[in-house]
């Protein structure tokens, strides 16, 4: 009988899917009230990041430590109205911050694809990298 233990130096990837249309990271809004300046994240972005966090929490019981690789496949229905892929990835990263990894500065490699499909969603895979892979 073979052992199911993961050999040292290897990691089992964390995988989860966020259903629905992915929302790109939007620029923070800045308002001034007299001498006071207030910066806030737009509601659509904040709501999507919270949704990402819910699915990440189900897949990852505690934040990973050390360097990680992020693989993302974003599926959209309409190729003519595609948001910028890097902004979609940023929304996913921010939603996983403190949940799947301690801080998004741990992400040392990113692979991302924007694909067309009738079922809109974001498929996420996070994999711990060996410490020597980090710069």
Whats the size of the chain, residue-wise? 135
Q: What is the CATH number of the domain that holds 128?
A: 3.30.1330.70
Residue 103 lies in a domain: yes
pLDDT digits (tens, 9 = 90+) for 29-57: 677 777 887 777 788 999 999 999 999 99
- 93: in domain: yes
Q: How far is CA 42 from the centre of its chain?
A: 18
Band of residue 16 on the pLDDT scale cut at 50, 70, 90: very high
Q: Rounded to whole angstroms, how far apart are CA atoms 109 and 57?
A: 21
Residue 128 falls within a domain, yes or no? yes
Number of C-beta neighbours around residue 68 at 10 A = 26
State the total domains in the chain.
1
H or E element: which one contains 54? helix 43-59
The answer to whether residue 5 sits within a structural domain is: no
- Alpha-carbon gap, residue 101 to 107, rounded angstroms: 9
Region class of 44: left (phi > 0), else alpha (psi between -120 and 50), else beta: alpha
Q: What is the pLDDT of residue 109?
A: 96
pLDDT in tens, 57-107: 999 989 999 999 999 999 999 877 788 999 999 999 999 999 999 999 999
- Please report whether residue 4 resides in a domain: no
Domain hosting residue 60, numbered range: 14-133
Residue 9 belongs to some domain of the structure: no
Q: Report how far apart, in Å, the C-alpha atoms of 132 and of each of 8, 66, 68, 69, 70 are.
A: 14, 10, 12, 13, 17
């Amino acid at each position: 009988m073979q052992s199911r233990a993961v050999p040292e130096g290897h990691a089992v990837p964390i995988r989860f899917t966020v259903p629905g249309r992915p929302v790109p990271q939007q620029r923070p809004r800045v308002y001034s009230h007299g001498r006071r300046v207030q910066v806030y994240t737009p509601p659509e972005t904040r709501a999507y990041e919270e949704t990402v966090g819910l699915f990440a929490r189900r897949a990852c019981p505690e934040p990973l430590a050390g360097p990680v690789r992020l693989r993302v496949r974003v599926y959209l229905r309409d190729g003519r109205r595609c948001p910028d892929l890097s902004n979609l990835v940023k929304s996913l990263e921010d939603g996983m911050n403190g949940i799947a990894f301690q801080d998004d500065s741990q992400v040392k490699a990113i692979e991302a694809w924007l694909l067309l499909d009738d079922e809109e969603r974001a498929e996420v895979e996070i994999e711990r990298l060996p410490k020597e892979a980090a710069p």
